[in-house]
Amino acid sequence: MARLNDDNVRLAQEIIGRYPRPRSATIPLLHLAQEQEGYLTQDAIKHVAELVGATSAEVLGTATFYEMFKFEPVGKYLINICGTMSCALMGAEELMHHAEERLGVKAGGTTSDGLFTLEHAECQAACTEAPCLQVNYRHAFRVTNADLDTLIDDLRAGTLDGEIPAHGTLARVRQSIPADKAAGVVTPEQVGAPAWFPAKDPS
Amino acid sequence: MSTYRWAAGYIDDGDRPKIVTSRFEYEDSYTLERYHATGGYDGLKRALAKAPNEVHDEVRGATILGRGGAGFPAGTKWGLMPADKYPRYLVVNGDESEPGTYKDRLLMERDPHQLIEGCLIAAYAAGLAQVFLYIRGEMPLAHERVGQALNEAYAAGYIGKNILGTNFSVDIVLHWGAGAYVVGEETALIESLEGKRGEPRLKPPFFPAAIGLYGQPTIVNNVETLSNLPWLLVNGMEAYTAIGTQTSPGTRMVAVSGHVNRPGVYEIINGTTTFRDLFYGEEFCQGIRNGNELKAFVPGGGSAPWFTPDQLDLPFEGRLVGAAGSMLGSGAIMVMDHTTDIPAAALTLTRFYAHESCGQCTPCREGGTWLERVLARVVAGNGTPADLDQLMEIGESICPGDFPHAANEALGLAATPFPYKMTTICFVGPSAYAPVHSALTLFRSEFEAKITRRNSIPVAAIHSTPAPAGAH
Ligand SMILES: Cc1cc2nc3c(=O)[nH]c(=O)nc-3n(C[C@H](O)[C@H](O)[C@H](O)COP(=O)(O)O)c2cc1C
Ligand code: SF4
Ligand code: FES
């Protein structure tokens, strides 16, 4: 029973309303579903499909293409250690070994208390701060083995709850377009140049 | 430790003209209040006082080379849309994920209003009726900062209906990615924005300016490209082209990572700053770590062929770097000192591209996987001499003919300039081969040593500190 709850359905409809084609809202809606449950259930995929007017197979096909969508439960904290070149040059492999030892799981595994999932990740756009990692996609920079130990302790103790929401929650600030200010969706069917724009582009 | 140290590391205190990073020194650089206090939205006001085609001419005259990788001038791109087909869309490429690249995330986190203003100026000048701002999924802080800024800008009347009391109306929609490198390719970005798998489309016919989002003319521009527009509109074309060179005006953000003393993101003068300046200059990286020797560097993101100290005096200028056998790409420079295990370093990139292949093209899907497998075998000390030829043969199936590489005096090599031929739809396939080709061409003896000395070189030599014996 993991369809989107009422609040999320309202949010989903608001998001769908911003796009010329409902299906464009697929990925944002999948994120909503993942935020609600921590991962994507079959019911959620079906529900998203209904909302955007696609088949479940189409939505599943989209979802499986993207790394961030999980199809089974992961830990409350997803720890992604970057292993691409800049981080590798600065000791990412050692950091991964240390994390595996410390958490007692191999990359790809989840600790038995369900708190941590450890994964290999690719470049996180923080290459000058190598080696780096993300916890639920929040960056930590220039991470030493000792930093990692402290981080894991802090996460266990709950002292970072304010900074790092549980897996699934991305942004805690959302866009909202006030109805009285919106220019409105522009569908491909709309004819003619926009009001401010000369129909004959002199360029 | 703080896990939210997004502010750490950015230390560009150099005394140079700053076009896109001018507000980074302020703690509250991302707020509307700070933006207003530092001339924010003046560029939009100036644009709206002109006709759209005048603004377009200004952008064309400034020759803002696209900062997403291909370096195509923004003003020229906007002129490629068919004159009679509407509506037109703007898709902002904030998917930054090319290995080594770190600038768009900073621009979104630190100066979201500048990006928004840039989007508005572009939409006005090119007649783009709706804007979609596609941010990489793994960047929640950028989502929050841009989301907050959009909300503020709507409330202040900068976005939406009848902007600043004119007949210019446009919405900007914040869109979330979900983790797939190839989606950064512009046609894949459009597929993804349509709610599909992010698989690149064939060009031709699917040039976005002609057939883009929902089949309509679409401009895809990079975050940094658009972030230049507010400054340009306030200061004018002459001021813009007075910085940098004629072919590469303005500034560029570059991320220098790896074995330098002061890795960082620097806004440099376009076209004149040399790699030597960057690696050894006081205001930049201040030398190679521990006083070590420079061995090699990747000048333009993981896809770019490698350079060695022979190319240190080249300036950051696209044509010169292209003629020298590489590319500037997305302003990502990765530096390797003499302790680096070159085959192992190449493997980290080849593995990336093999992993990120979308699977549509056989040479990329199969070739990438094979490159990774054979290279991994060699790096692990289990290779045979035939493996090195096989790597080149696989590369030949992805990129037939001569592949670009740098000149090397010690090896008696002349440069093979860009571009290359390819059998794939997009550049992911060739990118899997680029590091292998560079490493094998410039450092073949290191591969041979691994093969003849079987197992005797620890993979961990790539690390900054030696791994304990038997760690692997
Ligand atoms: C595999 C691949 C990945 C790319 N990733 C990005 C990216 O993350 N961000 C980006 O702006 N451009 C990326 N590009 C380049 C885009 O296709 C496109 O050229 C660019 O967004 C256009 O913007 P510009 O003209 O302002 O540079 C990528 C290209 C390829 C082939
Ligand atoms: S080159 Fe690779 S990533 Fe690009 S379209 Fe072909 S298979 Fe997909
Ligand atoms: S290589 Fe690790 S963040 Fe880019």
B chain contacts of residue A57, beta-carbon cutoff 8 Å = none
Given a contact cutoff of 8 angstroms between Cβ atoms, the answer to whether B170 and B125 are in contact is no
Contact A122 B104 (CB under 8 A): no
Instruction: Looking at the structure, tell me whether residues A34 and A81 fall in a common domain.
Output: no
* Residue B2 located in a structural domain: no
CA-based nearest distance B243→chain A, Å: 26
B290 C-alpha to ligand 3 centroid (Å): 22
Q: Is A24 on the interface with B (CB under 8 A)?
A: yes
Classify residue A127 by its DSSP letter: G
**Which tens digits make up the pLDDT trace of B440-468?**
999 999 999 999 865 444 444 444 444 44
* Residue A145 located in a structural domain: yes
Instruction: Looking at the structure, tell me whether residues A46 and A87 fall in a common domain.
Output: no
B chain contacts of residue A156, beta-carbon cutoff 8 Å = none
Alpha-carbon span B274 to B401, nearest angstrom: 30
Listed residue (B213, B207, B219) closest to B92, CA to CA: B219
pLDDT at B81 over 60: yes
Contact B258 A195 (CB under 8 A): no
Alpha-carbon span A175 to B151, nearest angstrom: 6
Instruction: Looking at the structure, tell me whether residues B101 and B41 fall in a common domain.
Output: yes
B chain contacts of residue A26, beta-carbon cutoff 8 Å = 195-196
**Which tens digits make up the pLDDT trace of B113-144?**
999 999 999 999 999 999 999 999 999 999 99
**Which of B215, B241, B267 is a domain's end point?**
B241
**Which of A68, A102, A120 is a domain's end point?**
A68
* Residue A197 located in a structural domain: no
pLDDT at B455: 45
pLDDT at B384 over 60: yes
Could you tell me which chain A residue has the CA closest to the CA of B52? A197
A93 C-alpha to ligand 3 centroid (Å): 13
Q: Is A26 on the interface with B (CB under 8 A)?
A: yes
* Residue B398 located in a structural domain: yes
Listed residue (B196, B166, B200, B24) closest to B108, CA to CA: B24
Q: What confidence tier does B78 reach under pLDDT thresholds 50, 70, 90?
A: very high
Q: What is the mean pLDDT of chain B?
A: 94
B chain contacts of residue A58, beta-carbon cutoff 8 Å = 196
**Which tens digits make up the pLDDT trace of B183-223?**
999 999 999 999 999 999 999 999 999 999 999 999 999 99
pLDDT at B8: 52
* Residue B17 located in a structural domain: no
pLDDT at B1 over 90: no
Q: Report the CATH number that the domain containing residue B60 is assigned in CATH.
A: 3.40.50.11540
**Which tens digits make up the pLDDT trace of B222-244?**
999 999 999 999 999 999 999 99
Contact A125 B143 (CB under 8 A): no
pLDDT at A1: 54
Digitized pLDDT (tens) for each residue of chain A, 203 residues in all: 589 999 999 999 999 999 999 999 999 999 999 999 999 999 999 999 999 999 999 999 999 999 999 999 999 999 999 999 999 999 999 999 999 999 999 999 999 999 999 999 999 999 999 999 999 999 999 999 999 999 999 999 999 988 899 999 999 999 999 999 999 999 999 989 999 998 444 44
Could you tell me which chain A residue has the CA closest to the CA of B255? A128
Instruction: Looking at the structure, tell me whether residues B217 and B301 fall in a common domain.
Output: no
A80 C-alpha to ligand 3 centroid (Å): 11
* Residue A176 located in a structural domain: no
Q: Report the CATH number that the domain containing residue B432 is assigned in CATH.
A: 1.20.1440.230
**Nearest CB to A66; choose among B8, B179, B263:** B179
Instruction: Looking at the structure, tell me whether residues A18 and A47 fall in a common domain.
Output: yes
Q: Report the CATH number that the domain containing residue A128 is assigned in CATH.
A: 3.40.30.10
* Residue A165 located in a structural domain: no
Could you tell me which chain A residue has the CA closest to the CA of B162? A183
Query: Which ligand sits nearest to residue B367's alpha carbon?
Result: 2
* Mean predicted confidence (pLDDT) in B31-58: 98
* Residue A187 located in a structural domain: no
pTM for the model stands at: 0.95
Residue B242: other Cβ atoms inside 10 A = 12
Q: Is the CB of A40 under 6 A from ligand 3?
A: no
Range of the domain at B393: 342-462
* Residue A97 located in a structural domain: yes
Q: What confidence tier does B279 reach under pLDDT thresholds 50, 70, 90?
A: very high
pLDDT at B9: 57
Probe ligand 3: pick from A80, A81, A86, A143, max atoms within 8 Å of CB? A86
* Mean predicted confidence (pLDDT) in B20-37: 96
* Residue A174 located in a structural domain: no
| Ligand 2 atom 8 nearest Cα | B358
CA-based nearest distance B3→chain A, Å: 5
pLDDT at B14: 86
Q: What is the ipTM of this complex?
A: 0.96
What is the number of the ligand 2 atom nearest to the C-alpha of B426? 4
Instruction: Looking at the structure, tell me whether residues A54 and A97 fall in a common domain.
Output: no
Instruction: Looking at the structure, tell me whether residues B227 and B296 fall in a common domain.
Output: no
A133 C-alpha to ligand 3 centroid (Å): 9
Instruction: Looking at the structure, tell me whether residues A81 and A146 fall in a common domain.
Output: yes
Instruction: Looking at the structure, tell me whether residues B303 and B407 fall in a common domain.
Output: no
Given a contact cutoff of 8 angstroms between Cβ atoms, the answer to whether B415 and B305 are in contact is no
Q: Is A112 on the interface with B (CB under 8 A)?
A: no
Q: Which residues line ligand 2 (CB under 6 A)?
A: B 182, 200, 357-361, 364-365, 424-426, 428-429
Q: Is A17 on the interface with B (CB under 8 A)?
A: no
Instruction: Looking at the structure, tell me whether residues B296 and B359 fall in a common domain.
Output: no
B40 C-alpha to ligand 3 centroid (Å): 32
Q: Report the CATH number that the domain containing residue B307 is assigned in CATH.
A: 3.10.20.600
Q: Which residues line ligand 1 (CB under 6 A)?
A: B 66-70, 72, 74, 93, 95-98, 182, 184-186, 220-222, 225, 426-428
CA-based nearest distance A93→chain B, Å: 8
* Residue B467 located in a structural domain: no
Query: Which ligand sits nearest to residue B432's alpha carbon?
Result: 2
Q: Is A141 on the interface with B (CB under 8 A)?
A: yes
Instruction: Looking at the structure, tell me whether residues A87 and A151 fall in a common domain.
Output: yes
pLDDT at B6 over 50: no
Alpha-carbon span B472 to B468, nearest angstrom: 9
Instruction: Looking at the structure, tell me whether residues B179 and B211 fall in a common domain.
Output: yes
Instruction: Looking at the structure, tell me whether residues B231 and B376 fall in a common domain.
Output: no
Instruction: Looking at the structure, tell me whether residues B347 and B287 fall in a common domain.
Output: no
Domain count, chain B: 3
pLDDT at A200: 47
| Ligand 1 atom 6 nearest Cα | B184
CA-based nearest distance A126→chain B, Å: 6
Domain count, chain A: 2
**Which tens digits make up the pLDDT trace of B54-63?**
999 999 999 9
Instruction: Looking at the structure, tell me whether residues B205 and B276 fall in a common domain.
Output: no
Q: Which of residues 45-74 of A touch B (CB under 8 A)?
A: 52, 54, 58, 61-62, 65-69
* Residue B303 located in a structural domain: yes
B457 C-alpha to ligand 1 centroid (Å): 38
Could you tell me which chain A residue has the CA closest to the CA of B343? A85
* Residue A172 located in a structural domain: no
Q: Report the CATH number that the domain containing residue A45 is assigned in CATH.
A: 1.10.10.1590
What is the number of the ligand 2 atom nearest to the C-alpha of B188? 5
Instruction: Looking at the structure, tell me whether residues A58 and A83 fall in a common domain.
Output: no
Instruction: Looking at the structure, tell me whether residues A119 and A151 fall in a common domain.
Output: yes
* Residue B109 located in a structural domain: yes
Range of the domain at A86: 77-157
Instruction: Looking at the structure, tell me whether residues B210 and B292 fall in a common domain.
Output: no
* Mean predicted confidence (pLDDT) in B77-94: 97
Instruction: Looking at the structure, tell me whether residues B208 and B82 fall in a common domain.
Output: yes
pLDDT at A198: 81
Contact B348 A30 (CB under 8 A): no
Q: What confidence tier does B10 reach under pLDDT thresholds 50, 70, 90?
A: low
Instruction: Looking at the structure, tell me whether residues B381 and B281 fall in a common domain.
Output: no
